[in-house]
Chain A
Amino acid sequence: MGKRVVITGLGVVSPNGMDIPDFLHAIQNGISGISFVPQFEELKFNCQVSGLPKFEWEQLRNYITETSLYGLKGKGIAFGIKAALDAWTDAGNEIVSAETLWETGCVFGSSVADTDVIKNAITRVDAKESKKLGSRVVEQIMNSGVTAYISGRLGLGNKIISNSSACATGTQAILMGYEYIKYGMAKRMVVGSSEFVDAYVFGAFDSMRVLSRKFNDQPEKASRPMSITSGGFVPGSGAGALILEDLDFALARNATIYAEIVGGSNNSGGQRSGGTMTAPGAAGVIRCIQEALADANASAESIDLVSGHLTATIADKFEIQNWSDALDRRGDDFPLVNSLKSMIGHCLSAAGSIETVAAVLQIKHQFVHPNINLEDPNPEIVDLIGEKNLPVKMIKKEINMVAKANFGFGDVNTCLIISKYNK
């Protein structure tokens, strides 16, 4: 039995909301953050829509020093700084501390360092102008760039870790922070993930023919998890961040508590038995969900809401089958299911943290956000779990326990069990 771990702060940079109040309003009202990207049409991509946060560099003015902001070009890092510092202040903390905070650490992940910054380095070096790169490139092309900026600004002195686990990165970061606190290695952790999907990463996914391509003229309809007319996912960018605390540490400073993380699991199917580089194997997924429940000492019946990975590909129906097998619940007995990706697309490494922020808000404010673009659910999914578990409008309902999972390339899985905070 370890320490109890509570969530005391939230921050988000989402295609449909640049802060928590805007994001809450957007997910309650089914507001899409997907838009047409003219550059992607020029580049002859099949998919020409994306989820892009309404970010401007000026928004970071009060977050980091002017000298630090000058020369910062990596948007993934910028999104991460904004979300993490918003979460930090949301938890009631001052940004500037004179001393190193030895009890507080950071686990923040991303998939790729900002390729725009890397492109600049490649272009300069190839033009024999490497001496013009200056001092600010290395810190932005290193994978740990985002944690270096966050921890430096806040003066964090515990474990500082940059994790990367493809689309399971965000939930994995949260799970790692949870475990460090649970087992007494830290009192407080800044956790989350960020992603900026630029044209180069986007193009590579586009070439795999896994992206939505039939709704370029109707961007808000392009991301259609669990729909029979879904034809691939819509890449998105953004960041999500949470402040996790040892319950006693949080109570001692009279922190506001959003919810409690009661368990989780992170595993891999080993790319065996149906699991591959790109597809999760059923055995690993089911084991991950069941281990998360066991870690939480929670029953499958106690889950009120499944916040799925559900990207809008052929894999959605297999994912629902796996959830059904893992929970041993089906038809009307299945919990409500939603996918935030219907509104913001698939933010890759940032998906898990943004979706966890959404899950926590649904517990805090007792609602289930709608699945937009699900007027035509896949009949195979309806056969498994019934249509009424697929809300297309916001539902106000008692939500005590949420299972949040993400599955990534490399057959890696993460599942979190998040509970309403009960004294």
Chain B
Amino acid sequence: MDRTAILTELKNVIAPYTENKAMLDGINEDTDLIKDLKINSANLVDIIIDAESKYNIEIDFDAAEKMYKVGNCIDIIYEKMNLSA
């Protein structure tokens, strides 16, 4: 799965956690989950849990701390998927 495909799927993972659905459609690698999508920081853990389940990967504490921009999320998911592959 390439970065564009991960981004497309990531929109579905993030969708339940943002009220800003209009902005969600147009997210790119620079979009900040908390500042731009107004996601409650406590809910980032739910996005991580859902991503783990969706991509069948494990995201450890160190990796999770870096997941504040969409691009960072894709980095981590891409890396972990290739590890498990």
Interface residues of A (CB under 8 A from B): 65-67, 70-71, 131-132, 134-136
Contacts and interface: CB of A to CB of B under 8 A. Distances in A.
Interface of B: 16-19, 40, 42-43, 45-46, 49, 53
10 contacts: A65-B19, A67-B17, A70-B16, A71-B16, A132-B53, A134-B46, A135-B43, A135-B45, A135-B46, A136-B46
A134 B45 CA distance: 6
Nearest to A138: B42
Interface of B is mostly: helix
Contacts, number: 25
B80 to A, nearest CB: 15
A70 B45 contact: no
A134 B17 contact: no
B49 A131 contact: yes
Contacts of A71: 16, 46
A135 B16 contact: no
B12 to A, nearest CB: 13
A67 B40 contact: yes
Contacts of B16: 66-67, 70-71
Contact of B42 (A70, A132, A135): A135
A67 B43 CA distance: 10
Given A135-B42, A135-B43, A67 B18 contact: yes
Nearest to A65: B19
Tell which of A65, A70, A135, A136 has the most Cβ of chain B within 10 Å. A135
Contacts of A67: 16-19, 40, 43
B46 A66 contact: no
Given A67-B18, A135-B42, 10 more contacts: A66-B19, A67-B16, A67-B17, A67-B40, A71-B16, A71-B46, A134-B45, A135-B45, A135-B46, A136-B46
